[in-house]
Structure 1
């Protein structure tokens, strides 16, 4: 296993973690952005399975949040405000009347302190950022560490650690777009997905949770048995149509299990297994991705990637029935998600 560091402009660095089986993960200290993940297909051909820009500078003002750490809160906050302990906290309205992904100067725009390391079984890089009180409107000084580690089982593990000196909502995630076809050869229509979820958060026309937890039974949202993403993308089901024909919804996991989500691409033979201790995730099928970005290997296109944003949901700030994302002062925030790659 090995680690390499490349110095870019603007004090940016690119770290590349490589294991003994040829898998590698590259990430920037800017936004903690994962720019490339190279894994083998069923014939041993090693290819990239995530979306990233051809030019590093294009990450600076990225409307798609490719590969980035999202915080303090991932997702949309209704009306760009929330109440905590009787006090109202206004936030930037950067998605119509609503707030999304921590604001326009959220964690995805920060140059994080970073250091690489190696253990007996992993290579990794730790990113640290101290978010001051009321940054982007959020209360409390929040001290965050996000660690990426790669082992020889072709498993990438992301650990999120944080603490605050005041009560504050926190819902961190990573916004990597996956495409298991390899080098973005095909869209994700034929990706097969299964997940341990029997309910999801219903959305309104602004993609804000209504507060209802809908059952997946009898709908294109039932992934308890493996099904292709195209069934929702091509569906006339109202919730799919609201999301611009696809998915941009929070799925609540029924219980913790070894593989919360399994993704397969039959043609390449790649399988990705996601394990997490988060209560759910947003699955987003890049419904808003336009065709005017130069990515590594090709031009961007709608449905070229799928995000699995394991996280708590900001719906809990306005609605009961969802796990709280409020972090108590001086309590530890500790969450983990791993992505394991294998072939059929």
Structure 2
């Protein structure tokens, strides 16, 4: 086994800096391909119940489309995932102002967020059990108004248990706000063949947060039970698509740590995805915009949007998400 790393010629030429394409694979015919630009995942190739391998991520038609990437397709997101009202927050009695790029909000770290960064390869390894790549980037103090000199690492590890781990670690030299996530758009039909309405979802959440006219979560928790967003038992997504999902679900404390936080499945292809995370919420977005509407779904494991999570200099930020791929007969 060996991690494949090649220069991505078209993006390197367009951006004027060297961009690499990285491929991880396991012994069970599953592979993950990503870019050092934005940490963007180009593909996750998994077999269906008949052994047919297809990409279960949405993708742009041209590689150059990932440069603009208005939908944050499959990218690393930060410094703050989701929206910050008015692009304003206070840490240690100091007021900060960051770019507003979505209605009244700073969205996903602003226009120059982690999705636009050219990440550096820190290390890679391939063993008999897994393949791994570690990318790193640095945020300079007050870059786009965000405080802290912050060193950020993104770790991608694919093992022979068919689990992809996405891990974010960060350290800062002063108090800052940090809330990172990954913005993968999944469709288990493969190649985004089908709308997601017939696909099924379970979420380990009894409550979610409603959103206001600016897509900001309100403080009151809403019961999932008997609502269009009730996925406490596995059920088809169709009922939620009329309103459209873009809501934080409050992940329940688990007695059984082996229980996943999210299970997403496609009865037609047999593909199943189980997600577990150490984060307190998962923002579920049913791709309500104009790009391949309802042909993808995002599970953004993170802290709540519009909430300032402070990382101090003596602490380490750690976000861990595990995604296991299975097939049902």
- Secondary structure of the residue aligned to 1:314 is coil
Tell me, which stretches of 5 or more residues in structure 2 are unaligned? 13-17
C-alpha distance after superposition, 1:178-203 (max 9, x if no partner): 00001211111111000110111121
Return the match for 1:137 from 135, 145, 151.
145
Q: Distance in 2 between matches of 1:334 and 1:145?
A: 10
**Offset from partner CA, 1:286-329 (integer Å, 9 cap, x none):** 00133xxxxxxxxxx20110000000113323xxxxxxx21122
Q: For the residues of structure 1 that align with 2:57 and 2:88, how far apart are their CA atoms? A: 33
Which of 220, 227, 230 is the aligned partner of 1:222? Answer: 230
Return the match for 1:328 from 292, 296, 312: 312
Distance 1:191 1:166 in 2: 44
Tell me, in whole angstroms, the C-alpha distance in 2 between the residues paired with 1:278 and 1:120. Answer: 29
Residue matched to 1:262: 263
CA positional deviation for 1:70: 0.3
Structure-2 residue corresponding to 1:82: 89
Shift of 1:64: 0.6
Where 2:86 maps in the other structure, the secondary structure is: helix
Give the CA deviation at 1:102: 0.4
Q: Deviations over 1:220-274 (max 9, x none)?
A: 122111111111113xxxxx3xxxxx10001111114430100110000001000
Mapping of residues 179-218 of structure 1, within 5 Å? 179-218=187-226
Count of equivalent residues: 317
- Structure 1 residue runs without a partner (length 5+): 235-239, 241-245, 291-300, 318-324
Deviations 1:44-64 (A, max 9, x none): 111110012232211000111
Q: Normalized against structure 2, the TM-score is what?
A: 0.94
The aligned runs of 1:56-67 (5 Å cut-off) are: 56-67=63-74
Q: Distance in 2 between matches of 1:280 and 1:73?
A: 14
- Tell me, yes or no, if structure 1 residue 310 matches structure 2 residue 291: no
Residue 34 of structure 2 is aligned to residue 34 of structure 1: no
Range with bigger deviation, 174-183 or 46-55? 46-55
Match among 51, 54, 67 for residue 44 of structure 1: 51
Runs of 4+ in 1 over 6 A off after TM superposition: none
